[in-house]
Amino acid sequence: MDFEPMDNASYDGWKFFIVCGEGTIFPKNVTRELCLNKIPNGSKLYDVLYSYASFSLISMERPAYRKEDTLRLILPFLRSYGLSNTSLKQYFKTNLNLTPGSRRTMRFAQEITLPFLISSLYEHYVCEACEVVDIPVENTYSMSLDLDYWDISKDEESTVKKLGDEIVSMPIINRPSDESTMDDISETDKNTLSRLDEIFEDELIGLQSFRLLSSSSPLGGEEKASSFLDIRRKTALNADDVMLVCSSDSDSLLAHMIREAGGLVVAFNATPLTLISSDIAVVSEDTTILSFLADVFQSSGKGHVEELVENWSTEAIRESPANKYLINDLLKSSALSAPLVTNVNHKTPMLDLNERFLQ
């Protein structure tokens, strides 16, 4: 989503709080849950397509997909079962799940920083989330999608449903190792890949459903990085005034950019790829810790946050420059389930950190 240029002068001295939604304030399984509720055997359909889009071995004979492309590969099947812009928006309104503490964290961020949200998810979900967490929609970037633009006939719906049933019967494709080649892939997986290639590169072509699929583009790593550059252009922010909260693999390029430019990058319940691109690693069931770190960052800067995390203790939390109510909330939540917090040392191997922080 684009928005009008801002008055740069009005943000001199401000800090910026940028959140990559999936895995941080949003659950990681939003689209899978949508498929489960809207398509017969929808979770299996999603899992097969996710394994297909995530297949990392690229050859000259095969199309190149990314994990995020699952969000567009699933669209013909969602549309064939009658999903529209209105019903999708209503579904997310009714089934909006956020990480505990997210509402308070984002509303607090709005008071002390200029918050932005970057997400691979459909804009319908992000718009509903914005109403709840009180962030302006114009401060968000997400996957643009118009389900109503394409007129799908009953015959086409039937064709797509049959293809969906066929995909549901397929096995989930095994993830290849980093050292694998196509010769190492099982015949079963090769057959599944070949059949899915036929469906998406041949049989759907010419259908309105294919136009829906091909006209949609989720935000992957490069698009998220471009979103940050767009924010920077419109606000004239300094990168060292940015705190980024990230979690998924597609956040890693953006995390690397901001960390290298002097900003603070917090990996929240993150994947290994994102962990190694971050300054601080956090594992928590609640986002109160993010509110706390954002407040310290806003008042005292990156160095103070890293020093605080290096000496992480109840005493250090109590003596921090954070809002006293936040300190009490963090200590209260920690008594139930204390967050794991540590600095990421980029000069040493990541094995110990990964073993401690991977889900």
Please give the pLDDT value at position 347.
52
Q: Are 241 and 16 in contact (CB under 8 A)?
A: yes
- Cα separation, 251 vs 304, in Å, equals 24
- Cα separation, 110 vs 112, in Å, equals 6
Classify residue 103 by burial, with Cβ atoms within 10 Å: 0-12, 13-18, 19+: middle
Q: What is the pLDDT of residues 74-128, one digit of tens each?
A: 999 999 999 999 999 999 999 999 999 999 999 999 999 999 999 999 999 999 9
Q: What is the pLDDT of residues 42-79, one digit of tens each?
A: 999 999 999 999 886 665 466 778 899 999 999 999 99
The dihedral through the CA atoms of 192, 198, 200, 204 has a sign that is negative
Mean pLDDT, the chain, rounded, equals 88
Q: What is the pLDDT of residues 148-167, one digit of tens each?
A: 998 999 999 999 999 999 99
Q: How big is the chain, counted in residues? A: 359
| 29 CB neighbour count, 10 Å cutoff | 15
Please give the pLDDT value at position 10.
56
**Torsion angle of alpha carbons 83, 89, 90, 94, nearest 10°?**
120
* Edge-to-edge strand list for the sheet holding 16-20: 140-143, 114-122, 16-20, 242-246, 264-268, 280-283, 340-343
Check pLDDT > 90 for residue 281.
yes
For residue 39, what pLDDT band results from cuts at 50, 70 and 90?
very high
Task: Give me 129's structure tokens.
Answer: 């989330």
SS3 188: helix
CATH 3.40.190.10 at 30-94+146-214, yes or no: no
What's the rounded mean pLDDT across residues 231-253? 93
For residue 180, what pLDDT band results from cuts at 50, 70 and 90?
low
Third-level CATH fold of 8-27+98-144+220-357: Rossmann fold (3.40.50)
- Cα separation, 244 vs 17, in Å, equals 6
Residues of the chain above pLDDT 90, percent? 72
Q: Where are the domains of the chain?
A: 8-27+98-144+220-357, 30-94+146-214
Q: Are 263 and 240 in contact (CB under 8 A)?
A: yes
**Amino acid letter, 85:** N
What's the rounded mean pLDDT across residues 349-357? 46
Alpha helices (H) in 220-301, listed in sequence order: 221-235, 252-260, 272-275, 288-300
Quick one: which of 253, 257, 218, 220 has its CA closest to 237? 257
Characterize the bridge pairing of strands 140-143 and 114-122.
Answer: parallel
Residues of the chain above pLDDT 70, percent? 88
User: Distance between terminal CA atoms of the chain?
Assistant: 32
Please give the pLDDT value at position 14.
80
Please give the pLDDT value at position 176.
76
Check pLDDT > 90 for residue 182.
no
